Structure 1
Amino acid sequence: MGHYIEVEPNVKVFVEDIGEGQPVVFIHGWPLNSKSFEMQANELALQGFRFIGIDLRGFGKSDKPWSGYDYDTQASDVKAVIDHLNLENFVLGGFSMGGPIAIRYITKYGQQGVDKLLLMAAAAPLFTQRDDFSINMKAEEVDDIIEQIKQDRPAFLAQFADMFFEQKKSDKFLHWFQMLGLEAGAHSTINAAIALRDEDLRGELAGITVPTAIFHGQKDQICAYELGEELEKQIPNSVLVPFKDSGHGINGDEPERFNTEMINFLKSSGVK
């Protein structure tokens, strides 16, 4: 079933809530929504878990206010959902942009209630290069993406779908993926891209002590595999799970292996 939850006055986010058991909270990537995890929702419910998929503000069925696309506000929206649903002993999962939002949630609100952390193709600790950080995109490349979105968002999303997956996908699947991106607000897509470009989480990783799994595609063209290696180095109780045949969309490129690894991690007592 779906809930609309007020995260601040006059801003509601949509939450998909499926199954029963230990809650697994999924935070989606840019510029998608919780429907991008539909194959995981089904598997989790079958395996005795409760799938909680949040549409971040600006995306999917959620309200699309003008502002609030920085990680602090997005993390505060996640907190509002967790509090409203009285979730305890939950797993926090973040895909792509959802990865740094999950990390920022822990930085801001602590690990109380968080059983495990699952980072999937995470855009962390940084999405763009700095003078002292040479991994992934340059800031100007994100500026170019923003320009393309302003000029022809549907065309950009079609091209983005091609970059997203390593394995061949049907035209129908790519069209569906493009439609998920079109459900977002144009301004939301742009403002969240600015957050991706500018936010820096390098100082926030050492304090994460919950068991953490880092799923990352070795052929990822959007969040380089080296980002996953960097996260494993800096998060104390973490394990990196490489997906050698995957690009960015690991749950679409290797869906069976993704679900198997996900369920194994959820059912394990830890990672080390």
Structure 2
Amino acid sequence: MAYFETEGGGHVYYEHFRGEKFPVVLVHGWGMSGEYWASAIEALQAEGHGAIIVDHRGCGRSDRDFADMSIGAIAGDVAAIVRQCGPERVVLNGWSLGAAVVVAAAEILGDRVAGLILTCGASPRYVQGEGFPHGGTAEDVLGICSAITADRPGFFRTLAEGAAGEGASEALIGWVERGFLASGPRASETLAGLATLDQRVLLSSFPFPVLSIGGANDAIADPAIAGFAADCAQHGTLVTLNTGHSPQLETPTAYNNVLIEFMRKLA
């Protein structure tokens, strides 16, 4: 475990699991932490790949009091941590809001990026807009911030039930709920960025393979977003799993098989 010190003196938590093959950078969804990638790390290590996890600003073990909590700032942290760890090539894998982070980080890292994975991603857009009829509205996203302030434990319990997927065990729901509850008081500022996010041009510019993994029963991110992302990318592939918003938690074996198959094609 280690901390990356930002220019402003804040500390971003990360872990670097080394392997003979190039690593996958695993970026969690909003309000979560790197611990929710444990099964994927095990699968990658068994295949000889390294893994790097990063806790967003305001989440997990990272500091809470950053002046800038934006998606772009978190992407800058991810890119800086990759450079600090030193691999010449990486695959970036972002879950939910983390997908928006890795798309932005891919632009910064340029030729270091061998591939991109969007896991139930909130990218290239999360809300409806011109030429994009999917998802909810900007008002919906901004309303979440108010709902968190009004009833933090109640809202996060409901959100955990949605994120864990239909029929999830109480253990899984509780695990996800604890992640949300542990997020900092200003983490909603990061979430608010989804109200205006538009990465369509950026995603379409990438020359490397992009794997978009969607959950057929996703209640958090419209499943149509995953298909749109795959179509938007120059070299995009869509895989739809019979899960909700968290396939790496709900059906880890099936998810890891898809992940490893993608990695083998890049080797």
Asked whether the equivalents of residues 165 and 246 of structure 1 are also in contact (C-alpha less than 8 Å), the reply is no
SS of 1:133's partner is: coil
Structure 2 unaligned regions, length at least 5: none
Equivalent residue runs for 1:60-209 within 5 Å: 60-107=60-107, 109-188=108-187, 190-209=188-207
Distance 2:7 2:227 in 1: 36
Distance 1:19 1:217 in 2: 29
Asked whether the equivalents of residues 60 and 182 of structure 2 are also in contact (C-alpha less than 8 Å), the reply is yes
Q: Which of 235, 253, 257 is matched with 1:256 structurally?
A: 253
Q: Which of 239, 243, 248 is matched with 1:246 structurally?
A: 243
Distance 1:83 1:40 in 2: 22
Q: 2:115 is matched by which residue type in structure 1?
A: K
Amino-acid identity (%):
25
SS of 1:268's partner is: helix
Counting matched residue pairs gives: 266
The alpha-carbon deviation at position 67 of structure 1 amounts to 2.8
Distance 1:182 1:166 in 2: 18
Distance 1:201 1:113 in 2: 20
Asked whether the equivalents of residues 111 and 210 of structure 1 are also in contact (C-alpha less than 8 Å), the reply is no
RMSD: 1.5
Structure 1 unaligned regions, length at least 5: none
User: C-alpha deviations, 1:15-38, integer Å up to 9, x for none?
Assistant: 022242321101111111111111
The alpha-carbon deviation at position 95 of structure 1 amounts to 0.8
SS of 1:186's partner is: coil
- Structure 1 residues 48 and 10 mapped into 2: Cα distance closer, same or farther (>3 Å)? same
SS of 1:15's partner is: strand
SS of 2:151's partner is: helix
Asked whether the equivalents of residues 212 and 237 of structure 1 are also in contact (C-alpha less than 8 Å), the reply is yes
Q: 2:74 is matched by which residue type in structure 1?
A: Q
SS of 1:240's partner is: strand
Asked whether the equivalents of residues 4 and 81 of structure 2 are also in contact (C-alpha less than 8 Å), the reply is yes
The alpha-carbon deviation at position 136 of structure 1 amounts to 0.3
SS of 1:16's partner is: strand
Aligned to 1:12: 11
The alpha-carbon deviation at position 251 of structure 1 amounts to 1.1
Give the TM-score normalised by structure 2: 0.94
The alpha-carbon deviation at position 167 of structure 1 amounts to 4.1
Give the TM-score normalised by structure 1: 0.93
- Structure 1 residues 269 and 202 mapped into 2: Cα distance closer, same or farther (>3 Å)? closer
The alpha-carbon deviation at position 91 of structure 1 amounts to 0.9
**1:265 corresponds to 2:256:** no
Distance 2:224 2:102 in 1: 19
Aligned to 1:214: 212
